[in-house]
Amino acid sequence: MDRLDNTVRPYAWGSTTAIPQLLGTEPTGEPQAEMWMGAHPGAPSRTDRGTLVEVIDADPERELGPATVAKFGPRLPFLLKILAAGGPLSLQVHPDLEQAREGYADEERRGIPVDAPHRNYKDANHKPELICALTEFDGLCGFRAPLAAAALLDDLGIDSLKPYVDLLHAHPEDAALREVLTAILTADPEEMSRTVEEAAAACTRLGGAYAPYADIAHHYPGDPGVIAAMLLNHVRLQPGEALYLGAGVPHAYLNGLGVEIMANSDNVLRCGLTPKHVDVPELLRIVRFRPSDPGVLRPEASPDGEELYETPIDEFRLSRHVLPEGGTARDLTRATPQILLCTAGSVRAGEHDLTPGRSVFVPAGEKVEVSGNGTLFRATVVA
């Protein structure tokens, strides 16, 4: 079992205080957006045996287990993060596995450098993800019913939004949503900037359900993503609640601290709230234009005390153990690789004492018992 030394990524949208507060360290004054735990080549966790990439590469079957290697290849198929949003992330969507393979192969054939700013597909993998709130956590997830989105836009009282309102009353619903998002993202930039400015003022004045969009507009003035965001469901998670983001579902995280887990991929197509490249035709190919409930997840408890967040994919499996003071040790030995992360209190995992923000990698099949008085997240795979 290896204690992990993890990299914190300083993305501009990150909170300056949330991760330091969790770790019990002094803020640096700079944003600290994500702490990565895993074997992603961009920032692999470090151990006493080398980076986790080097550890796994040296003996994949020993570290990951034969079943994991057979199913996913000789790599850890998930990335675990602590995510601290101090402001909105880009409005985005992820491809499914077939779309990712097709898109990656096409861009490879066309000779687009993998680090080119207009490249969409960095790899051939999909990127389903799950975010579990550690604090109140605000986000956008999935399309509202078109009539609900029309009412939200109409009540702003802005003439330039009337065409979108009319389109949202059309049928079928998927075609209405597609047409409106296309119109927003292809509108004249100067006209759209004026519309967003008017919408921001109206959202600030109205408050209530409009408050999240006023804040988005404050961070991204003039960005068409502000209007696109109003097509989506706003959701506020309470600690312990989670969202699963599958392929084609537009989403954005707005504010809060959470544990995030995802398949090991960098494939993101952006819809707005970003200075980065927005490929509208490819985006429209990937987005699933159907209204949906955000689908807030609450963990299902088993008799042994494990609380599981059910998801429909195998690349990751996230669960939580809330360990009571004086409770008996729990055996978490598993035939698949694990990362154990403490988020509250103090937990003993094997020979390691974990405090909030500290984590360990447990090779497949290695005996591990946990005890203490705290909260432990467990990340593994289904193999």
Helix (H, G, I), strand (E, B) or coil at 21: helix
Structural tokens at position 81: 């993060």
Pairwise CA distance, residues 373 & 235, whole Å: 31
64 neighbors 76 (Cβ within 8 angstroms): yes
- H or E segment and range at residue 257: strand 251-263
User: What are the C-alpha distances in Å from 326 to residues 273, 351, 358, 372, 381?
Assistant: 48, 18, 21, 7, 30
Tokens coding 42: 């961009």
Output the DSSP codes for 122-157.
Answer: SSS----EEEEESS-EEEEEEEPPHHHHHHHHHTT-
**Rounded CA gap, 166 and 268, in Å?**
30
Q: Which of 270, 320, 334, 358 is catalytic?
A: 270
Whether 330 is catalytic is: no
Q: How many CB atoms lie within 10 A of CB 2?
A: 21
46 three-state secondary structure: strand
Contact 184, 192 (CB under 8 A): yes
Query: Which residues are bridge partners to 50 per DSSP?
Result: 47
**Coil, strand or helix at 100:** helix
Residues 6+ apart with CB under 8 A from 83: 33, 34, 131, 253, 257, 258, 259, 260
Active site amino acids: 270
